[in-house]
Amino acid sequence: DAGVTQSPTHLIKTRGQQVTLRCSPKSGHDTVSWYQQALGQGPQFIFQYYEEEERQRGNFPDRFSGHQFPNYSSELNVNALLLGDSALYLCASSPGLAYNEQFFGPGTRLTVL
Amino acid sequence: LAKTTQPISMDSYEGQEVNITCSHNNIATNDYITWYQQFPSQGPRFIIQGYKTKVTNEVASLFIPADRKSSTLSLPRVSLSDTAVYYCLVPNSGGYQKVTFGTGTKLQVIP
């Protein structure tokens, strides 16, 4: 049983560009959350998707947007990249909104130059 | 906004028991407390979750006093592979999965 998978593993972009990160949840999971983890910090909640809708959102600007597909996979899009967007982006899945335990993927390391 | 406070770092020798305490003064009545472990360049991994008193699983125990303003993660007989960052989480308003991780406790196990 594959766990949460994310692609790509690493990505290098320049300021002002746009990026799309992808996540496939663990089998049987329908809820996906995205987190940003800067170096030396804990993960910060970006938003959560369930039934193809954004259900909750953290304190992130509109440059951060997402999508969930009918097969429960998800994308995170970041527009107009800033140097400060450099971070590890983590995807987590769970079998429903009310489920406390989340299963995290290995993350995508984004570097903005 | 729910907030947790943990020690920034701890050192322990192999084979010792390690206790990491987290304070969460404004935890809501029905909130669970969850602990995650994270190795470098990996996503966090769920360790244990509890609501009150004591919870034990195959890797750790979680002690929660009656006032629930703090909790203690106990790792029995740590090994070098337990070197990681440990996060204590309580939910923010809006749901269990909208959580704040904080900076966590970096545990270094020494041979």
B23/B64 Cα distance (integer angstroms): 10
Instruction: State which residue of chain B sits closest to A31, comparing Cα positions.
Output: B97
Q: Which of A12-16, A39-43, A92-96, B93-97 has the highest mean pLDDT?
A: A12-16
- DSSP label at residue B19: E
| Closest in B41, B43, B95 to A105, CB measured | B43
Output b/e per residue, B70-82; b: 16+ Cβ within 10 A. Answer: bbbbbbeebeeeb
Name every chain B residue with its beta carbon within 8 A of the beta carbon of A91: 43
B106 to chain A, any CB pair closer than 8 A? The answer is no
Other CB atoms within 10 A of residue B69 CB: 12
Q: Give the angle A60-A16-A67 at the CA atoms, nearest 5°.
A: 45
With an 8 Å Cβ cutoff, is B12 touching chain A? Answer: no
- Digit-coded pLDDT (tens) for A19-40: 999 999 999 999 999 999 999 8
C-alpha to C-alpha distance for B85 and B6, rounded to whole angstroms:
11
pLDDT value at residue A29: 94
- How near does any CA of chain A get to the CA of B41, in Å? 7
